Amino acid sequence: MKKLIFAVTVLVYCLLVAITSNAQQGLKVPKPVKESFNANFKNSQYSRWVQLKDAYVATFSEDGTSWRDAYFTSDGEFKGVGKFITRDRLPMFVQQRIDNNPSGYELIELYQYECNENGICYIAHMRSDKHDLFLKMSPYGDVTYSVKNKLKSKKDNTEDAIATK
């Protein structure tokens, strides 16, 4: 159950990557979390911390060009590391699974997560006209978790503009 909750936390974080640094102001990261981060990533610079329920995520860079996300429990246990990737970095079986996606779905983004407990998994965010779809896949392309959310309908602003004239 904890693994499923943590996988959902990773999915939620993928959606929250666009949070600006203003949302971080006042966030107090527990000392064990900071110590664990420093022990695991000695030569890194962190960009920001985000809290998700009882987990903390540090977005950081070790080389100044590529960014990764490190996941920790509130008591400092290191859970894994993730990063956004391009399609050409996917294993063949995951690429095939995405190529055989449901009709009408477009690939939005890909995330690779290396979990201490379960190894590597891939998260694909896909979108159709009506739904967002998130697939968590093993390196062999097996879907281990999926979430489908209905998109909010977009109101045609041109009708509002005409009505107000």
Cα–Cα–Cα angle for 139, 8, 29, rounded to 5 degrees: 110
Whether the full predicted model's pTM is greater than 0.75, yes or no, is no
Edge-to-edge order in the sheet of strand 106-115: 45-52, 55-61, 67-73, 78-85, 106-115, 119-127, 131-137, 143-150
**Hey, what domains does the chain have and what are their CATH numbers?**
2-150 (3.10.450.360)
Count Cβ atoms within 10 A of the Cβ of residue 37 and give its class: 0-12 exposed, 13-18 middle, 19 or more buried.
buried
Residues 41-64, mean pLDDT to the nearest whole number? 89
CA distance 136 to 112: 10
Name the residue type at position 133: L
- Long-range CB pairs of 75-80 (<8 Å, 24+ gap) are 75/30, 75/32, 75/33, 76/30, 76/32, 76/33, 76/35, 76/36, 77/36, 78/36, 78/37, 78/40, 78/116, 79/6, 79/55, 79/115, 79/116, 79/117, 80/113, 80/114, 80/115, 80/116, 80/117
pLDDT digits (tens, 9 = 90+) for 56-88: 999 999 887 889 999 999 999 999 999 999 999
For residue 159, pLDDT over 90 is answered with no
Strands 119-127 and 55-61: unpaired
Structure tokens, 70: 């490190």
| pLDDT greater at residue 123 or residue 18 | 123
pLDDT digits (tens, 9 = 90+) for 99-157: 887 778 999 999 999 998 889 999 999 999 999 999 999 999 999 999 999 998 755 44
For residue 11, pLDDT over 80 is answered with no
For residue 158, pLDDT over 60 is answered with no
